[in-house]
Structure 1
Amino acid sequence: MVTALQETKTIPALPPGFELSVTSGLQRYAVQHDDLTLTSAFQPIFSVSHMRAVGYEGLLRAHDALDRVVPALDVFGEAARHGELHLVDRLAQALHLENFKMLGAEREWLFLNVHPEALTDPYHAAALFANLKRLELSPRRVVLEVLEQRAGDIEKLAEGVRHFREEGFLIALDDFGAGHSNIERIWQLNPDIVKLDRIMLSHAAHRTDMATILPGLVALLHEAGKLVLIEGIETEHEAQLALACDADFVQGFFFGRPNPGLADGTQAAACIGELTERYRAQAEARERATASRLQPYVRAFERAAERLAAGEPLEEVCWNFLALDHAARCFLLDSNGRQAGRNVVLRADRAAKDTGFLPLADAQGANWLRRPYFRDAINAPERVHITRPYLSINEATPCVTLSIATRVGSQMCVLCGDIDWIEEASG
């Protein structure tokens, strides 16, 4: 609740006619705009690895004349309808900078939301720099979050982003995966941090296919040189998904709600520590379950490799392996990764299923040199290698491949066996 105001303070960098005042009791600044009292709240952003808050996102809080809460979206929506969006944007940033300075944070970042057009407005930039200079805050302490908005001139926006980065600011792309914030905007704006929109996390929490895609997306962003923040985490299940994705930073009610002050460091470390321990235990349990599930396939595959090395034909040695549920096919590669002969398929239903991908059915002479199952086997022969689940080109379905390099006569060959990989429901 915002209480009575005192200690009025005029700030040159604010738009004319506005003053910041200290709210009694809470010791934070507020500003009057029409009949609204505007002030700040800060939601902590945590590094999972460091187990502590590394930044705070400044969030606008508004109350009307009767001290009723007015959602920030309504404040900005009303400002946009009256042509005052940039004015309110500047007010919010000035408020957040003043209140962040009052927090006493010594090394954490302040995440500031900025409308894309504000990054191309010289007057807005001058006001931001004036506030930072007066508060003795380095630009390196500020992360500018580019909001998910359609930008009229993307080249001009990219130039504005480059200018702010050259001054020392970090750039975050907000709401990635929603609206106009997509992979193309990453190449255009080259942010330092990408914030994944909550809707992607929500889908991953309820859909197995999305839960599989999310880690790959985070890995792609990492390969592009971007740190990844997953926001909107509200439940432990969502928090576990964020850990499984190898996200760098997390934000959401599960870890910490917006409030006027700093996060409780001891409580945060305990929360993340307990979460990480449960994640470790669950990961080890999954690994044990997977090993147990694969054991019959590995035994049959090892026996097939022994018989192949003894001179028996490929079509004969694979029967025991292919007779197992979900075993898909066997095939043989030479030392250069080229397939010798066709895929060996035991069951008639498998052959019928393959007809939907008839152009791919004949793999004789195909080169699988790029595949991890070939490279791993060649680099460490005479033992079975097991891939992570991946999309099989044969039927566009998830599969796991076993492989082993062994001598067949005078030639080194790689025997491979595919298993359809259907994720088992956790009980």
Structure 2
Amino acid sequence: MNITSSLLEDPSSSDDYLLEQVTRWNIDPGHVAIEVVESGIQSLSVLRRFVERYRAYGFLIALDDFGASHSNLERLVELKPDIVKIDRHLVSEVHASHYKRSVVEAINGLCHSLGAISLAEGVEESQELECLSSLGCDLFQGYLLSHPLEDYDSSLTEVRKRVLWHASQTALRIADSARGVHDEITRIVETGRHLGRELQRLSRIDEQLSGLIRRLPDIQCAYVTDLHGMQITETVFNPSTGTREGVLFRPARRGADHSLKDYVYHIRSLGAPHFLTGAYLSRATGTLCRTVSVKTYTKEQTPVILCIDIVQA
């Protein structure tokens, strides 16, 4: 149920009209979500008083258009909503944008840690539904599933069929995607292992590492640390990959301490044979990458850690 700013700021709203209506029609307030349309609401104190009063009656509170316009973290903290509706501008083409996926995933994590349900609004494509499901969204709203209903009773059966069909298809696609991710991780880790084996044959690591990675175009750069995480080579770049130069992005140099980075720590302190990070912005190149690290040995059988940045599509 959408509530406009005029209702919140009109003193006559104190007559508890909504409570009277749910009582009249014998509806449990816990089955009604009050969706506050925030645009135009200037007073947070007015909004908070409204929310507190109707939450005390048992209504659910939904924060609309989160991630756009007036929605912000302050209102999330102050209103403590039961449902957070992720704005459609973040939802649209989310499957095609790493940045949107990262933001939506972060919003979902924030909602769940605060005890709120996340709802993606404006879902119009099956690829969006699949992606949003994999990112942890709880509920979905949009034309893909249903247009607004005028005749609720006669349309509900058809809507239920459509929702169940999309749910089954999404589950199948997520399973296929998971297998694809597993295969990609296996490929990346095997690339790291292969280079680790090749490293054992090199007599001059600094000079020959460049030639080693040049043969693999999806590698951005590589370097080697000792088992304590101290870098013992320079960072070697693959000339076929691009970089962003500037004060924020520069490669680590010989002697840099990587001991607390997860891809070194898991090998150094936890005994893992290899490690693969999630996608992140490389401080060496200024582009998205994943780092695979592998414990290997030099030609003299000295244990080292080979760290490789892989291009993230």
For the residues of structure 2 that align with 1:298 and 1:407, how far apart are their CA atoms? 11
Residues 222 and 393 (structure 1), Cα distance of their counterparts in 2 relative to 1, 3 Å cut: farther
Residues 227 and 130 (structure 1), Cα distance of their counterparts in 2 relative to 1, 3 Å cut: same
For the residues of structure 2 that align with 1:302 and 1:326, how far apart are their CA atoms? 19
| Other-structure match for 2:2 | 113
| Other-structure match for 1:295 | 190
Deviation at 1:172, TM superposition (A): 0.9
For the residues of structure 2 that align with 1:241 and 1:291, how far apart are their CA atoms? 22
Indicate yes or no: 2:235 matched with 1:340: no
Deviation at 1:194, TM superposition (A): 1.1
| Other-structure match for 2:58 | 168
Indicate yes or no: 2:221 matched with 1:326: no
Deviation at 1:288, TM superposition (A): 2.2
| Other-structure match for 2:125 | 235
Alignment gaps of 5+ in structure 1: 1-111
| Other-structure match for 2:70 | 180
Q: 1:246-395 counterparts in 2 under 5 A?
A: 246-259=136-149, 260-261=151-152, 263-264=156-157, 265-289=160-184, 291-292=186-187, 295-304=190-199, 315=206, 318-319=209-210, 321-323=212-214, 324-327=216-219, 328-332=221-225, 334-335=227-228, 337=229, 339-341=230-232, 343-345=234-236, 353=243, 355-357=245-247, 360-364=250-254, 366-378=256-268, 380-395=270-285
| Other-structure match for 1:67 | none
Q: 1:11-26 counterparts in 2 under 5 A?
A: none
Deviation at 1:157, TM superposition (A): 1.5
The alignment partner of 2:39 has SS state of coil
The aligned amino acid for 1:330 is Y
Residues 133 and 369 (structure 1), Cα distance of their counterparts in 2 relative to 1, 3 Å cut: farther
Note if contact 2:122-2:143 (Cα within 8 Å) is conserved in structure 1.
yes
Q: CA RMSD in A?
A: 3.5
Deviation at 1:417, TM superposition (A): 1.9
Residues 152 and 300 (structure 1), Cα distance of their counterparts in 2 relative to 1, 3 Å cut: same
- TM (norm. structure 2) is 0.79
Residues 348 and 398 (structure 1), Cα distance of their counterparts in 2 relative to 1, 3 Å cut: closer
Alignment gaps of 5+ in structure 2: none
Indicate yes or no: 2:108 matched with 1:218: yes
Deviation at 1:392, TM superposition (A): 1.2
For the residues of structure 1 that align with 2:195 and 2:87, how far apart are their CA atoms? 45
Runs of 4+ in structure 1 off by over 6 angstroms are 406-412
The alignment partner of 1:229 has SS state of strand
Indicate yes or no: 2:310 matched with 1:419: yes
* Structure whose residues are more often strand by fraction: 1
Note if contact 2:249-2:283 (Cα within 8 Å) is conserved in structure 1.
no
Residues 267 and 199 (structure 1), Cα distance of their counterparts in 2 relative to 1, 3 Å cut: closer
Deviation at 1:122, TM superposition (A): 6.0
Q: 1:3-82 counterparts in 2 under 5 A?
A: none
Question: What number of residue pairs does the alignment pair up?
Answer: 304
Residues 183 and 413 (structure 1), Cα distance of their counterparts in 2 relative to 1, 3 Å cut: farther
For the residues of structure 2 that align with 1:206 and 1:277, how far apart are their CA atoms? 19
**Higher Cα radius of gyration:** 1
Question: Which deviates further from its counterpart, 144-153 or 291-300?
Answer: 291-300
- From 131, 154, 157, give the equivalent of 2:21: 131
- TM (norm. structure 1) is 0.60
For the residues of structure 2 that align with 1:303 and 1:357, how far apart are their CA atoms? 34
Note if contact 1:300-1:320 (Cα within 8 Å) is conserved in structure 2.
no
The alignment partner of 2:152 has SS state of coil
Residues 171 and 302 (structure 1), Cα distance of their counterparts in 2 relative to 1, 3 Å cut: farther
Amino-acid identity (%): 25
Q: CA deviation digits over 1:73-131, x for unaligned, max 9?
A: xxxxxxxxxxxxxxxxxxxxxxxxxxxxxxxxxxxxxxx11124534656425111222
Residues 192 and 367 (structure 1), Cα distance of their counterparts in 2 relative to 1, 3 Å cut: farther
The alignment partner of 1:356 has SS state of coil
Question: Which deviates further from its counterpart, 112-121 or 133-142?
Answer: 112-121
Deviation at 1:145, TM superposition (A): 0.8
Q: CA deviation digits over 1:305-359, x for unaligned, max 9?
A: x569xxx675367456523223212131654x5x334533155687x94753477
The alignment partner of 1:255 has SS state of coil
Deviation at 1:211, TM superposition (A): 4.4
Residues 146 and 358 (structure 1), Cα distance of their counterparts in 2 relative to 1, 3 Å cut: closer
